[in-house]
Amino acid sequence: MEQIVSSGIIDSYFKKLKASLSVDVAIVGGGPSGLVAAYFLAKKGLNVSLYERKLAPGGGMWGGAMMFNEIIVQQEALYLLDEFNIKYNKYKDNYYTIDSVHSTAALTYHATKAGAKIFNCTSIEDVVFNNYKVSGVVINWSPVHREGLHVDPLVITAKAVIDGTGHDCEVAQTVARKNNVKLNTETGSVVGERSLSIEEAERTTIENTKEIFPGLFVSGMAANGVSGSYRMGPIFGSMLLSGEKVAELIAKKL
C-alpha cells in the first residue's frame, strides 16, 4: 500500500505537469481575478495553468478585512457571484456582503472543475521572451526561492501570460527591468500603486485590465499597480470583473 500511495501521487502529478509544459494561458497568481480568468478560459476549452506561490490559492480574499472574514461586492458583479454559486446578503443599496472563505473556496473549486490546472507552491522567477513577445514563464518551487537555493528552473511556454500578482506587479516588473522595453502605460514602465480610493480604484481596475506588452496581460490589483491607479481594500467586485474581462480579451486574441 505504501508504494501504491507514493507511485500514484507521482504518476498523477507528472502526468498533469507534462500536459502543462505548453499551454494556451499561464496565469501567475491565484487571487480572485486569476481564479475567475482561469475559470472562464478553461470553460472555453483552452489549456490553462495557474501558478500560486503559496500553499493555498485565493490571494488576499481569504482574510476578508483585517481577518474579519467578510467582504463587500457591489451590485454590478452579482451575476458573477451567481455564476460561481456564491451566497450573498444585501447590506445596503448596491452593496452586498459575502463570506470570504466560502467565496474563495468556490472560485477555486469552479476554476479547477472547468479544467484549469493549479500548481501551488510554485514561483515564477522569469518569463520566456521570444521575438519581442512574452511567450511563457520560468517556474521553480517556492521553497527554493524562500531558502535562497541555487536551483535551475523549468520552462512553461504559453500563448498568453496573465500577471495577477497583486500589488507588486511582479511579472510586469520583471519584463520591463530585464528586457529594457516599454509597457503600455503612461510612463512605459510600472507606474506603481497609489493610496486607497475605493470608488476610483473599483472603476480603474477594470479599465486597466489589458495587454500591456505583446503576450502579457494584467488583471486585478496588478492592473492598477502597473498603470498607477489606486488600491481599494476589501471590496472585490472589480477583482471578479477584471478576471472576466482579461479572459475575454485573451480568448478573442487567441
200 contacts: CB under 8 Å, gap ≥ 6: 229, 230
Residue 16 lies in a domain: no
Residue 233 lies in a domain: yes
Residue 12 lies in a domain: no
pLDDT digits (tens, 9 = 90+) for 171-197: 999 999 999 999 999 999 999 999 999
Residue 190 lies in a domain: yes
Question: How many domains does one find in the chain?
Answer: 1
Question: Average pLDDT of 6-23?
Answer: 98
> CB count, 10 Å around CB of 242?
31
Looking at the DSSP bridge assignments, the partners of residue 98 are: 71
pTM reported for the whole predicted model: 0.97
Residue 138 lies in a domain: yes
The per-residue pLDDT for 82 is 98
Asked if 110 and 86 touch (Cβ cutoff 8 Å), the reply is no
Q: What is the mean pLDDT of the chain?
A: 97
- What's the order of all strands across the beta sheet hosting 95-99? 70-74, 95-99, 89-92
pLDDT digits (tens, 9 = 90+) for 87-113: 999 999 999 999 999 999 999 999 999
DSSP helix/strand/coil, 122:
strand
Domain that holds residue 161: 22-253
- Indicate the angle between helix axes 32-43 and 237-253, nearest 10 degrees: 40
Residue 79 lies in a domain: yes
Residue 11 lies in a domain: no
Give the separation between CA 82 and CA 84, rounded to whole angstroms: 5
Helix segments in the chain, DSSP class H: 2-18, 32-43, 78-83, 100-113, 142-147, 170-179, 198-207, 221-227, 237-253
pLDDT digits (tens, 9 = 90+) for 35-63: 999 999 999 999 999 999 999 999 999 99
Q: What is the DSSP letter of 65?
A: B
Q: What percent of the chain has pLDDT over 90?
A: 100
Which grid coordinates belong to 36? 475567475
CATH number at residue 215: 3.50.50.60
Give the separation between CA 116 and CA 118, rounded to whole angstroms: 6
